[in-house]
Chains A and B, each alone.
Chain A
């Protein structure tokens, strides 16, 4: 794996300083190799790094900063929970980006951004210079949004909303529930990563319990009154898991008032629910580096739709869940789509390559039971102020089994394809 060392950074920094008088010129016009730094190696960041490196054919130095050596995708983590795939199926390394495209992969945290000096500070203390910066850190959790829930006790009721070991922990807790026990799911309020995700998670946990613990119950204490693909999930739950799942919106429960992590009790206005296992997903915000870089307005980062440039700093592009992408849901597919638009804009700015009208797309597949897949999707354009829907579709209720199976198989094929599009 290619890594850049302190000396490389230093040389770069001197180079930047020496030509500071010419900073208004694009890097390619100054005759030096432009540098792009990408913070975050998920669907947005990995795709951006890959496309900038691949399509610039070595004309741009690309550095990817990502703390984990193996990335476990959030998308399809529910299928791991449901026993459809094993844990390693959703894990991916960065070896391909380094070996195939010459991306410098640094496994460290980005802890600060100096927009004026155009540097990113790493946890190690090293500063990396850039001409353009891509910020794609995904989400952070607002632990205080649920009374009684905290980062210290999160493993008792895993949010498992960043994939990885928390999902493995949640799976173990579900599998070890007592016979006839109660699983409680507390979905997050809008806006949040993967709108159908909590409901696919409920489906996949029901899928497991219906086989191993069929008298178990699932209580969903939702802070919302409606949710993504609601008609499809509701129909599917009645079909596959009759009497197992009870969805209770905030208008009925009054919302979660407090959680006692010691007794596993979740208090609402109508009742206190005693959980044998639970998943609590708090409210969300852009990854913390966005605040530190001064990119947020409230919890998320406003962007210029045509290029995904930050409204706060034109040298920084914000992708994926952290951005305010308006009509586009916070999904891996969306982040991948943002990355391609940003990569084109960045190559155009740094190397003078052609730039075309920006287009975005998203499809979110969800699995309700084995071979019962549904999907929602849309394509989008860059309006002056917002990303706008061009056309959209959603699966219908009462579709034939063969179509649902084909939709599920399509999702499996998509997973293989998009992870190759990110990491290969």
Chain B
């Protein structure tokens, strides 16, 4: 399975279906909104080709995904670099923000 497919499957499994045990994010959505401006250069509300939408993603799934990129357990050099400098607080803020948005149609 290629990297992108892995990412998409993981997004669905961890995010929208909420497979992981519920972890409440207490991140600051306003800070998350600022940080998210980097994300939306590629991840728009609508799915664009092979890049998944992360709008409306559940916080626990988002946090798990980003930590997997940060530890380089998920491939994709761009995402590893993006996640590499995010602190736990940053990730929680992003998760809190994106979870408030409407998921793609």
Q: Which residues of A line the B interface, CB within 8 A? A: 51, 55, 333, 336-337, 340, 344, 354, 356, 359, 361, 363, 375, 377-379, 390-393, 395, 402-403, 406, 409-410, 412-414, 416-418, 420-421
Cβ-defined contact, B41 with A409, below 8 A: no
List the 4 shortest-distance A-B pairs measured between CB atoms, nearest first.
A413-B49, A413-B51, A416-B48, A340-B37
CA distance A337 to B77 in the complex (A): 19
CB distance from A329 to the nearest CB of B (A): 15
A354-B30, A363-B78, A391-B81 known; A413+B50 contact, CB < 8 A: yes
CB distance from A283 to the nearest CB of B (A): 29
Give chain B residues whose Cβ lies under 8 Å from the Cβ of A356. Answer: 31, 34-35
CA distance A337 to B78 in the complex (A): 15
Give chain B residues whose Cβ lies under 8 Å from the Cβ of A416. Answer: 44, 48-49
CA distance A182 to B32 in the complex (A): 53
Q: Which residues of B line the A interface, CB within 8 A? A: 2-4, 30-31, 33-35, 37-38, 40-44, 46, 48-51, 77-78, 80-82, 84-85
Q: List 25 A-B contacts (CB under 8 A).
A: A55-B33, A354-B31, A361-B41, A375-B78, A379-B82, A390-B85, A391-B81, A391-B84, A393-B77, A393-B78, A393-B81, A395-B77, A406-B3, A406-B50, A410-B78, A412-B49, A413-B49, A414-B41, A414-B48, A414-B51, A416-B44, A416-B48, A417-B43, A417-B51, A420-B44
CA distance A333 to B35 in the complex (A): 16
Cβ-defined contact, A344 with B34, below 8 A: yes
Give chain B residues whose Cβ lies under 8 Å from the Cβ of A354. Answer: 30-31, 34
Cβ-defined contact, B41 with A336, below 8 A: yes
Cβ-defined contact, A414 with B37, below 8 A: no
Select which of A51, A379, A402 is within 8 A of B85 by beta carbon: A379
CB distance from A92 to the nearest CB of B (A): 14
CA distance A100 to B89 in the complex (A): 32
Give chain B residues whose Cβ lies under 8 Å from the Cβ of A406. Answer: 2-4, 50
Main secondary structure on B side of the interface with A: helix
Give chain A residues whose Cβ lies under 8 Å from the Cβ of B4. Answer: 406, 409-410
Cβ-defined contact, A361 with B38, below 8 A: yes
A340-B37, A403-B3 known; A413+B42 contact, CB < 8 A: yes
Cβ-defined contact, B50 with A359, below 8 A: no
CA distance A251 to B34 in the complex (A): 47
Give chain A residues whose Cβ lies under 8 Å from the Cβ of B43. Answer: 417
Most interface-central of A392, A410, A421 (chain B CB within 10 A): A410
Cβ-defined contact, A337 with B2, below 8 A: no
Give chain A residues whose Cβ lies under 8 Å from the Cβ of B51. Answer: 410, 413-414, 417
List the B residue with the shortest CB-CB distance to A333. B41
Most interface-central of B40, B77, B85 (chain A CB within 10 A): B77
CB distance from A381 to the nearest CB of B (A): 8
